[in-house]
Chains A and B, each alone.
Chain A
Amino acid sequence: MSATIQAVSQALGIPPGSVHEPRPGELRADVEPGTLRAAADRLVADLGARLASLFATDERVWNAVYALHQIWLLPRHWTFLRVSTRVDPAHRRFPSIAAKHPSANWFEREVMDMFGLVPEGHPNPAPVSLHDDWPDGEWALRKDFPDARQVPRVPGSSHPFRPVTGEGVFHVPVGPVHAGIIEPGHFRFGVAGEPVLYLQLRLFYAHKGTEKRFERLPWRHGIFLAESISGDTAVGHALAFAHAIERLSGCEPPPRARYLRVVLLELERIYNHLADIGAIATDVAFSVPAAHAQLLRERLVSLQERLFGSRLLRGTVAIGGVKLDLPNAGREELLAHIQRLQSDFESLVTLLIDSGSFTDRIDGTGTLPIEAARDLGITGLAARASGLDEDLRRDQPHDAYDALSFEVPVEEGGDVRARLMVRAREVEQSIGILRQALGALPDSPLRTAPPSELPAFSAALGWAEAWRGPCLHWVETDAYGALTRVKITDPSFRNWPGLAHAVPGNIIPDFPVINKSFNLSYSGNDR
């Protein structure tokens, strides 16, 4: 019995024999509903656990219950832990942990919206994903809800926005159709003149029923749906889905594929970071570096198109490996390109941070303190910019990351500058990772064929540290080996509350640059 299982069984208050390890990096344990809260407290206090996802499944057909699942990352033990408990269909209630662990806030409300299971003791049990015109009594992720069901709109009560009172204090509503070329969402600012008193978010305008859609598609086609969860994270989500299916079916991608996946994921990181650094400059009207950043990004994505047949690297990841090779000529071209990119990028960053009028706008703007980041469950680059040192590429390595050496940049400031600098330093690290991976590309086939059928009644977790943060896919099969539940956790879902926390106290004209410094996905959040 490993020390990890011992520690987990102590924290959960169950015998070690009840903690299972279906595969490396994944632990699983069932607990009684009544012990859920105490278990969460001990996991966080004793093991430093961080909530990575929380969701429900409808198991009424074969188990006569619903189930609630919490996925915890145990950073000190290099593993994920799934804690599951049954939810009685007669009462449809489960104990909420959100009062003590705000990271569970939106997750539990989404379970309520999609399954009709009530989080007991939740401090704010309002719908998070359903809009005002969605009727009561319709729960889309229940198994007896057909995916093509057209639900009528009802007048519904308006979403309660926090009232503001006092002289000169008012609401500024923004969206869902924004002024720029960005995704849909509604922001409600309470302001006193220019300073923002608070920000409330109303999202899920881009809710497409993606998790339900996975249940309908053949699992082999799921990879294309995964690429469309968040269009800027096609590789990250495709990898997380592929990892989940591969872990479920015991399919091991060949070495060359594992290295090429690293190349793809780092290219995706670089092109997005370049775009964001340019956009941060745009939002403070510093147009020369903005144009240069756009140029560097465009040159990179055109090269991606030439080498991989897709500007945004779609259709490159396959279940069991990768779809295409990078021949020697392409490898040389890519190495030469990143050589040029590195020096261009260095001078771009210098141009930015040597400008006093630029740093004046980003220093101390939109600060998210480390305590808030930890409590809200912030993850990925936003967490690293607030001083939380976490990165699955190092902590739970996937693909070939365990064979590559790199640093995880962490900044303490928590402001726009910190998020900018994490990006800038990550680009440098990614260039180093690309050099190592391209220099060590092993010779092997590109793909291990996955089995023709997935095992029945099994579940697995897949993850990938994409540019924004970890993408998590939890998949479960039914009696026929078809996907019966796919839970997607995009880092944006965990990070949006962080934005709402970072904005108050700033002025409205700084909102665009704060928003861009997080650059969270609406589609990934809404699914």
Chain B
Amino acid sequence: MFRILARSARTGIVTDPQPLAPRLHRGFPVIDFRRCTACGDCARACPTGAIQLRTDPARPGVSPATTLSLAYGQCISCRECIPACREGAVSVSSSFDLVAYTREQLVHRASFDVDASGRATFRQEESLPGPSLSESAATLAARIRGRFGRSLHVRQVDAGSCNGCELEIAATANPVFDLERFGIQFVASPRHADLLLVTGPVTRNMEIALRRTLEATPEPRAVVAVGACGCSGGIFGEGSYASLGGVDRVVPVDVYVPGCPPSPQAILAGLFVAMGIREARARPESPAPEAGTNQALSSAS
């Protein structure tokens, strides 16, 4: 007994007072579209199809256009795109806590003009149709009427994940991140929950269980999709015989937390966004040269 007490006293407080403070992190890749020539090498290197190159032929009155898009909901931070780019236009950002309300908000897209020789030059960045972050935030806030502000009971549902997201969700409760100090608690039953934290890809064999779990959760309720697979099916894709893909293929999703897996900080950020006490951020910050911590990361492959 005394040894246990002595050990606790010796350890002291290990909880990080600022769990969301930026730290060195394997962040999401970011494309500098101004240096991009829309060659598509990054898209071919991307194992999940997060990067897509699309060329629309000329139509009457419309010049031919090429668009390149990076969907962060599908990105597994594998970094294959970085060495694939001959122009050095892809780099690692320090952003690890992207959170959005729709899949579209997580897509970074630019269009390019293509001249007669086939050379593409950057035209402009484009957003996808759909509500903006602030519009979505207002909609969610109106629906939950600020009820989650001080206390949030969370039921986690693994709808088919590889367990990577579960490890990081569990880590939010460890002594360093300690999510209970923010009034957030994991509960054992959906009937006790305000929010479902769902990982994917949603499998055929978990589809019904996920629907039933949502039905058992009282209103007002919210659903947070966690991880590349939860947001989009990730490396498993969408629509195989066994796997349906992103959580929103089965139940409505209020907040998306991409990453493979997202770090505990990102998951906390997603919960704060669902509670309405943090602003969502769907775009990575400009690249930080030291973000990778290890210069060899982008050169070795």
**A interface residues (Cβ-Cβ under 8 A, vs B):** 131, 140, 145, 147-151, 176-177, 179-184, 204-210, 212-213, 216-218, 221, 224-225, 228-232, 234, 275, 288, 291-292, 294-295, 297-299, 301-302, 305-312, 314-315, 318, 322-325, 327, 330, 347, 351, 354, 446-447, 521-523
Which of B33-41, B107-115, B120-128, B169-177 faces chain A?
B169-177
> Which of A183, A298, A521 contacts B175, CB < 8 Å?
A298
Asked if A232 and B236 make an inter-chain contact with CB atoms under 8 angstroms apart, the answer reads: no
> Which of A292, A323, A325 contacts B11, CB < 8 Å?
A292
Assess whether B263 is interfacial by the CB under 8 Å rule. Answer: yes
Asked if A207 and B205 make an inter-chain contact with CB atoms under 8 angstroms apart, the answer reads: yes
Chain B residues in 8 Å Cβ range of A212: 240-242
Asked if A208 and B296 make an inter-chain contact with CB atoms under 8 angstroms apart, the answer reads: no
Asked if B203 and A206 make an inter-chain contact with CB atoms under 8 angstroms apart, the answer reads: yes
How far does the Cβ of A84 sit from chain B's closest Cβ, in whole Å? 26
Chain B residues in 8 Å Cβ range of A229: 162
Interface residues of B in 69-105 (CB under 8 A from A): 76-79
> Which of B24, B47, B166, B177 contacts A224, CB < 8 Å?
B47
* Cα-based distance from A274 to B240 in the complex (angstroms): 36
Interface residues of B in 171-214 (CB under 8 A from A): 171, 174-177, 186, 188-190, 201, 203-206, 209, 213
Interchain pairs with CB closer than 8 A, number: 204
Chain B residues in 8 Å Cβ range of A288: 4, 7-8
Asked if A327 and B294 make an inter-chain contact with CB atoms under 8 angstroms apart, the answer reads: yes
Asked if B241 and A324 make an inter-chain contact with CB atoms under 8 angstroms apart, the answer reads: no
Chain A residues in 8 Å Cβ range of B206: 176, 184, 205-206
Interface residues of B in 124-178 (CB under 8 A from A): 156-171, 174-177
Residue of A nearest to B207 (CB): A153
Residue of A nearest to B228 (CB): A228
Chain B residues in 8 Å Cβ range of A330: 294
Given A177-B213, A307-B294, A230–B163 Cβ distance below 8 Å? yes
Asked if B243 and A209 make an inter-chain contact with CB atoms under 8 angstroms apart, the answer reads: yes
Residue of B nearest to A312 (CB): B164
Residue of A nearest to B242 (CB): A209
8 contacts between A and B (CB under 8 A): A151-B204, A181-B158, A209-B236, A230-B162, A298-B175, A315-B26, A330-B294, A351-B7
Asked if A183 and B300 make an inter-chain contact with CB atoms under 8 angstroms apart, the answer reads: no
* Cα-based distance from A151 to B237 in the complex (angstroms): 17
Given A208-B236, A232-B163, A308–B294 Cβ distance below 8 Å? yes
How far does the Cβ of A324 sit from chain B's closest Cβ, in whole Å? 5
Chain B residues in 8 Å Cβ range of A291: 174-175
Given A207-B205, A225-B235, A446–B160 Cβ distance below 8 Å? no
* Cα-based distance from A284 to B156 in the complex (angstroms): 22
How far does the Cβ of B252 sit from chain A's closest Cβ, in whole Å? 18
**B interface residues (Cβ-Cβ under 8 A, vs A):** 3-4, 7-8, 11, 14, 24-26, 47-48, 76-79, 156-171, 174-177, 186, 188-190, 201, 203-206, 209, 213, 229, 234-237, 239-243, 260-261, 263, 292-294, 296-297, 300-301
Residue of A nearest to B294 (CB): A324
Asked if B175 and A182 make an inter-chain contact with CB atoms under 8 angstroms apart, the answer reads: no
Residue of A nearest to B159 (CB): A184
Chain B residues in 8 Å Cβ range of A210: 236
Asked if B209 and A177 make an inter-chain contact with CB atoms under 8 angstroms apart, the answer reads: yes
Given A206-B158, A351-B3, A179–B294 Cβ distance below 8 Å? no
* Cα-based distance from A107 to B11 in the complex (angstroms): 48
Given A184-B160, A207-B203, A323–B301 Cβ distance below 8 Å? yes
Asked if A140 and B242 make an inter-chain contact with CB atoms under 8 angstroms apart, the answer reads: yes
Chain A residues in 8 Å Cβ range of B159: 184
Asked if B174 and A231 make an inter-chain contact with CB atoms under 8 angstroms apart, the answer reads: no
Chain B residues in 8 Å Cβ range of A305: 24-26, 263
> Which of A209, A217, A306, A522 contacts B163, CB < 8 Å?
A522
Chain A residues in 8 Å Cβ range of B296: 324-325, 327, 446
* Cα-based distance from A218 to B44 in the complex (angstroms): 10
Residue of A nearest to B76 (CB): A224
Residue of B nearest to A295 (CB): B175
Q: What 9 A-B pairs come out closest when comparing CB atoms?
A: A231-B164, A209-B242, A221-B47, A179-B188, A309-B26, A231-B162, A231-B163, A294-B174, A325-B296
Asked if B301 and A447 make an inter-chain contact with CB atoms under 8 angstroms apart, the answer reads: yes
How far does the Cβ of A218 sit from chain B's closest Cβ, in whole Å? 8
Chain B residues in 8 Å Cβ range of A302: 176
How far does the Cβ of B6 sit from chain A's closest Cβ, in whole Å? 10
Chain A residues in 8 Å Cβ range of B177: 298
> Which of A213, A232, A234 contacts B237, CB < 8 Å?
A213
Asked if A323 and B166 make an inter-chain contact with CB atoms under 8 angstroms apart, the answer reads: no
* Cα-based distance from A179 to B240 in the complex (angstroms): 29
Chain B residues in 8 Å Cβ range of A315: 26, 77-79
Chain B residues in 8 Å Cβ range of A206: 158, 160-162, 203, 205-206
Chain B residues in 8 Å Cβ range of A182: 158, 166
Residue of B nearest to A203 (CB): B205
Asked if B201 and A208 make an inter-chain contact with CB atoms under 8 angstroms apart, the answer reads: yes
Asked if B241 and A205 make an inter-chain contact with CB atoms under 8 angstroms apart, the answer reads: no
Chain B residues in 8 Å Cβ range of A205: 160, 203, 205-206, 209
* Cα-based distance from A323 to B301 in the complex (angstroms): 6
